[in-house]
Structure formats: C-alpha cells, structure tokens
Amino acid sequence: MKVVRNLFKLLPVTLTMFAIATPAAAGDAAAGKAIYDGKGACGTCHGATGAGDGAAAAALNPKPASFVTAAFRLDTDGDGQAGTDADLANVMKNGGGKYGGNAAMPGRADFSDAEISDLVVYIRSLKQ
Ligand code: HEC
C-alpha cells in the first residue's frame, strides 16, 4: 500500500514534468482572432471562418489555405512534415514565396513572436 500511496504523491510531479517537456503552443486564441480580424486582415484571403474563401481567394493560385480542413502543404523547415506549428509560424512571418508557395501570402515580419503564436493557436481552433 505504501508504494501505491507514494506513486500518487509523485503523480503531480510527473504531470508537471510532462507539461514542461511538451512545448504546447503558448498562444492565446482570442488574441489571435483579434489579429486575424484586425490588422492581419487574414480573412480577406482565408475567409472570415478560415475556410479559404475570402473575397480575394478566387484570383489566387495556389489558393489560400483552408484552416477548416487544415490541409497544410508548406514544409518550411524540411522536417518532412507540413503544417507543424513551426511551419505555420514561418509562413506567417516570412510569407509563402520564401518556401516555394504562393508569394501572395504576405510575410508579417512586423508581428511579434507572441502575436504569431496567438495566430497559430487561433488558426488551429478553426479546424472542424
Ligand atoms: C493576400 C491574400 C492573403 C492574406 C491577406 C493572408 N494570406 Fe495566408 N495564404 C495566402 C495564400 C494564397 C496561401 C497559400 C500559399 C501556398 O500554399 O502556396 C496562404 C497560406 C497560408 C498559410 C500556410 C498554409 C500551408 O499550406 O502551409 C498560413 C499559415 C497562412 N496563410 C496564414 C495567414 C494568416 C495568419 C494571415 C493573416 C495574418 C494570412 N495568412 C493572410 C494568402 C493570404
């Protein structure tokens, strides 16, 4: 019994270690939405709900990504996986053209890392 009790005592420690070891996106979805709808004007191309159907989308090829299907295609860091948090952040910071994608996707080097993280979390929240 003592062993079991000791295990329970260790549980919070283990959980805390796991939380620290897992670099969960630290952004804030509400703040991300404010940027998306506001100064980012992301909806112009990606659509108000993120479905990739903004007013400017028809004229663009490749089309603006749909955050609803979340079928991301740009692998910005060559790790063999498209659409990781790092990929989304890189595209938002540096634009699509830098990674062989549509250069119409504007780079927002003027956004802080915190703002980019907020956008990543918000974009992820749009997936259905
Ligand atoms: C002028 C139109 C336009 C605006 C404004 C725009 N985007 Fe894009 N975006 C695109 C296009 C087009 C692509 C597709 C690039 C490709 O796949 O080649 C894209 C791709 C992306 C991707 C990468 C998807 C993938 O497949 O890997 C992300 C992330 C993204 N946009 C986020 C944003 C965010 C966040 C904003 C607002 C800060 C924004 N975009 C504003 C046109 C736009």
Domains and CATH numbers, the chain: 27-125 (1.10.760.10)
- Contact (Cβ atoms closer than 8 angstroms) between residue 46 and residue 65: yes
Model confidence over 48-57: pLDDT tens digits?
Answer: 999 999 999 9
Sign of CA dihedral 118, 78, 68, 20: negative
In angstroms, the CA 115 to CA 110 distance is 10
Question: Which of 105, 112, 117 maximizes ligand 1 atoms within 8 Å of its Cβ, making it the mutation to test the pocket?
Answer: 105
Model confidence band, residue 8 (pLDDT cutoffs 50, 70, 90): low
In angstroms, the CA 64 to CA 56 distance is 9
Cis, peptide link before residue 62, omega less than 30° from 0: yes
pLDDT for residue 37: 98
pTM for this prediction: 0.86
Side chain identity at residue 76, one-letter code: T
pLDDT for residue 67: 98
- Contact (Cβ atoms closer than 8 angstroms) between residue 119 and residue 125: no
**Which atom of ligand 1 has the smallest separation from the CA of 42?**
37
Question: Which of 33, 44, 46 maximizes ligand 1 atoms within 8 Å of its Cβ, making it the mutation to test the pocket?
Answer: 46
